[in-house]
């Protein structure tokens, strides 16, 4: 139990759910004394191999994982896994080669005499099944092994749930950060546009923007803010949204906002039309 707790503590230090799933089989062996372990992911009604670990035999683990991944099965065709999902408890398979409930492709490749299996259930939902045996020790899995793997799977479920929450918080924080940056950039653009408009009114002395616009078409470079001019210039050069963002150090959301404003101001339905009208109105590519 001390080793089990140490293994779960190491898993708590992993910040990615994908990395946790890949590491689970190794920790199950190292902390519970198993020789081999495989994790099957239950996803959308399918059972797909996620990771495998063989103590001292990484090539064997890679072969089993490859075979298992080439033979995904629907959950309703795997009685043992379906039973684990339904009962939500660990099971012991006393005769792995003769039990009709097991995943036949894995059982044949694994050549295990007996093994234990336990569901992984963060938030009460079964997302995977962990299997382990003592193949190299040449002994059958027993009830103590079933209890050990069940304790490990329960602890892993709690650690996995915590990491899911951390990942979601990290994603939300990044979205908020991008939103703040986007709003800040737009406010700066509006300020620049207002200053430019005031400067033009003072230079012509009329202050009658409507009359000036009716007298002659407004040049493209006067319709747009300085940042929008940079964006449409790159659009005219054939840059994608991603390329524009990289060149101007803008977030994807900010680039989309600028393009939307450019289309609106130029009365264009798409990027190509916007570039054409900009050039027609005197814009400089």
- For position 253, which CATH number holds? 1.10.10.10
Q: Which pLDDT score, from 0 to 100, does residue 38 have?
A: 96
- For position 90, which CATH number holds? 3.30.450.40
Final residue before a domain boundary, out of 168, 200, 221? 168
Task: State pLDDT tens for residues 180-231.
Answer: 766 666 666 666 666 655 555 555 554 444 344 444 444 555 678 888 888 9
Same-domain status, 124 and 12: yes
Contact 60, 49 (CB under 8 A): no
Q: Write the DSSP symbol of residue 97.
A: T
Contact 38, 64 (CB under 8 A): yes
Domain that holds residue 34: 2-168
In a domain, 99, yes or no: yes
Same-domain status, 139 and 22: yes
Same-domain status, 7 and 56: yes
Same-domain status, 116 and 219: no
In a domain, 285, yes or no: no
Beta-carbon contacts of residue 67 (< 8 Å; ≥ 6 apart):
105, 106, 109
Same-domain status, 49 and 107: yes
Task: Count CB-CB contacts under 10 A for residue 202.
Answer: 10
Same-domain status, 19 and 159: yes
Beta strands in the chain (DSSP E): 36-43, 46-54, 73-74, 91-93, 115-120, 128-133
Question: How many structural domains is the chain composed of?
Answer: 2
Same-domain status, 99 and 176: no
Same-domain status, 89 and 225: no
Same-domain status, 182 and 151: no
Same-domain status, 57 and 96: yes
Same-domain status, 88 and 141: yes
Final residue before a domain boundary, out of 168, 200, 229? 168
Q: Which residue has the tokens 């065709």?
A: 77
Task: State pLDDT tens for residues 236-271.
Answer: 888 899 899 888 888 888 899 889 989 988 888 898
Final residue before a domain boundary, out of 168, 195, 226? 168
Task: State pLDDT tens for residues 71-113.
Answer: 888 988 889 888 888 889 999 999 999 998 888 889 889 999 9
Contact 20, 159 (CB under 8 A): yes
Task: State pLDDT tens for residues 22-40.
Answer: 999 999 999 999 999 999 9
Same-domain status, 164 and 186: no
pTM of the model: 0.62
Task: State pLDDT tens for residues 99-155.
Answer: 988 888 898 899 999 999 999 998 788 999 999 999 999 999 999 999 999 999 999
Task: Find, among 214, 219, 217, the residue nearest to 196 by Cα.
Answer: 219
């Amino acid at each position: 139990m001390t080793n089990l707790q140490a293994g779960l503590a190491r898993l708590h230090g992993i910040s990615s759910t994908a990395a946790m799933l890949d590491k689970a089989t190794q920790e199950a062996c190292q902390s519970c004394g198993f020789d081999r372990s495989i994790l099957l992911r239950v996803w959308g009604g399918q059972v797909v191999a996620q990771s495998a670990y063989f103590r001292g035999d990484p090539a064997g683990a890679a072969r089993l994982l490859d075979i298992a991944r080439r033979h995904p099965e629907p959950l309703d065709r795997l009685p043992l896994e379906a039973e684990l999902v339904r009962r939500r408890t660990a099971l012991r398979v006393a005769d792995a080669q003769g039990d009709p409930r097991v995943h036949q492709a894995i059982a044949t490749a694994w050549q295990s005499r007996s093994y234990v299996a336990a569901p992984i259930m963060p938030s009460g939902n079964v997302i995977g099944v962990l299997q382990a045996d003592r193949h190299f020790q040449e002994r059958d899995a027993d009830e103590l092994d079933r209890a050990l793997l069940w304790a490990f799977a329960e602890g892993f479920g709690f650690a996995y749930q915590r990491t899911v929450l951390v990942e979601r918080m990290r994603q939300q924080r990044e979205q908020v950060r991008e939103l703040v940056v986007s709003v800040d950039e737009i406010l700066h653009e509006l300020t620049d546009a207002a200053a430019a408009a005031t400067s033009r009114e003072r230079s012509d002395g009329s202050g009658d923007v409507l009359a000036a616009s009716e007298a002659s078409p407004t040049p493209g470079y006067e319709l747009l803010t300085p940042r929008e001019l940079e964006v449409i210039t790159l659009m005219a050069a054939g840059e994608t949204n991603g390329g524009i963002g990289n060149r101007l150090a803008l977030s994807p959301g900010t680039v989309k906002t600028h393009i939307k404003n450019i289309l609106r101001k130029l009365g264009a339905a798409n990027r190509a039309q916007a570039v054409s009208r900009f050039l027609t109105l005197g814009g400089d590519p």
